[in-house]
Amino acid sequence: MNMIVEVDEKSGFCFGVDLAVKKAEEEILKSGKVYCLGQIVHNDMEVKRLEDMGMITINHEQLKTLKDVTVLIRAHGEPPETYEIAEKNNIQIIDASCPIVLKFQKRVIKAHLEDDSQNQVVIYGEKNHPEVIGLSGQIGYQAIIIEKEEDLDQLDLNKPVKLFSQTTKPASSYKKIAASLSDKMLTLNENASLKVNNTTCGQVSGRDQNLIEFSKNHNVVIFVGGKKSSNAKTLYELCKGVNDRTYFISEIEDLKTEWFKQDDTVGVCGATSTPRWLMDKAKEAIEKHIN
Ligand code: SF4
């Protein structure tokens, strides 16, 4: 085969994840190991690379049993009780919460406090997503989490609503949810109070258009992403929507010869959780073993 393979320059870690990975690497180089609370990034290959260096991934139950160690908080952020446990157990925290998420947490607290008890703080996102848990935890888990349009039924449309979105949700679907909520509220009460806060992350939403163009410009698209990454799933579907010959791989072994034809142009791209080295490796594997 005679294919041209190109890696998308704009794909790869967002700056929040990049920062967290760098902090983990720094600590490992300094002291030989670091505990990380939850998967540092939704990409098994990158987690394995860091674990091979000395990172130890732990969950919240394990955190409670540790004492006198150093624990890194990943970009998604954490609820206040995590910091309380750390203090109680003499755990030193390396806080790699993304600065955008930290700002968002403060906005949630402010929204919760600024009105009377009628106030409803609503987050459009995934209930079990660590960022959403961290956000809702700031206000004692009183936020109402909306995963899909039907969940809007949980709201009292006569009471004020402050709407937020998980940072990695597509801006377009957030817009739809906000419009639908606004319609419902105004139908019921023309003085309804809805405040829509723009909290989708520009690092993610800015990639949509780029990936659409990138996918259109190649015959085959290889999307590299972690199976657990919601951002990877969303962006893969976006690419697939404009180029039917888009394939999702998590590791190099997932590549299949039958996906490629003579003289294809191949684009390799990924999510905000996809390390650049893995996309480069995919390019190399296609050039060496399939081309
Ligand atoms: S997607 Fe945005 S908010 Fe989330 S970690 Fe990355 S830079 Fe931060």
Is residue 131 annotated as part of the catalytic site, yes or no? yes
pLDDT at 116: 65
DSSP labels, 97-131: --HHHHHHHHHHHHHHHHS-TT-EEEEES-TT-HH
Round to whole Å and give the CA distance between 146 and 152. Answer: 7
Based on the fold, state whether residues 75 and 112 are members of the same structural domain: no
Among 173, 196, 219, the domain-final residue is: 196
Q: What is the CATH number of the domain that holds 60?
A: 3.40.50.11270
Question: In which domain, by residue range, is 47 found?
Answer: 15-97
What does the longest C-alpha to C-alpha distance in the chain come to?
67
Based on the fold, state whether residues 134 and 84 are members of the same structural domain: no
Among 196, 217, 235, the domain-final residue is: 196
The number of distinct structural domains making up the chain is 3
Based on the fold, state whether residues 163 and 139 are members of the same structural domain: yes
Name residues whose C-beta falls within 8 Å of residue 72's C-beta, 6 or more positions apart in sequence: 20, 23, 24, 27, 34, 35, 36, 37, 40, 93, 94, 96
If you measure from the C-alpha of residue 215 to the centroid of ligand 1, how many angstroms do you get, rounded to a whole number? 23
pTM to 2 decimals? 0.88
Ligand 1 site residues (CB inside 6 A) read 14-17, 75, 98, 100-101, 167-168, 201, 203-204, 272
Based on the fold, state whether residues 206 and 133 are members of the same structural domain: no
Q: What is the CATH number of the domain that holds 137?
A: 3.40.1010.20
Based on the fold, state whether residues 24 and 70 are members of the same structural domain: yes
Based on the fold, state whether residues 162 and 207 are members of the same structural domain: no
Among 97, 112, 134, the domain-final residue is: 97
| 168, 198, 235, 273, best to mutate for ligand 1 pocket (most atoms within 8 Å of CB) | 168
Based on the fold, state whether residues 85 and 19 are members of the same structural domain: yes
Token reading at 57: 């991934």
Based on the fold, state whether residues 213 and 162 are members of the same structural domain: no
If you measure from the C-alpha of residue 229 to the centroid of ligand 1, how many angstroms do you get, rounded to a whole number? 13
Closest CA to 104 of 176, 36, 203: 203
Cα first-last separation, the chain: 5
Based on the fold, state whether residues 138 and 149 are members of the same structural domain: yes
pLDDT digits (tens, 9 = 90+) for 213-266: 999 999 999 999 998 887 898 899 999 999 999 999 999 999 999 999 999 999
The count of other CB atoms within 10 Å of the CB of residue 76 is 28
Based on the fold, state whether residues 212 and 181 are members of the same structural domain: no
Three-class SS state of 169? coil
Based on the fold, state whether residues 131 and 182 are members of the same structural domain: yes
pLDDT digits (tens, 9 = 90+) for 24-41: 999 999 999 999 999 999
Closest CA to 20 of 1, 2, 42: 42
Note down pLDDT in tens along the chain; length 291 residues.
Answer: 789 999 999 999 999 999 999 999 999 999 999 999 999 998 999 999 999 999 999 999 999 999 999 999 999 999 999 999 999 999 999 999 999 999 999 999 999 998 766 789 999 999 999 999 999 999 999 999 999 999 999 999 989 999 999 998 888 899 999 999 999 999 988 888 999 999 999 888 788 889 999 999 999 999 999 988 878 988 999 999 999 999 999 999 999 999 999 999 999 999 988 999 999 999 999 998 777
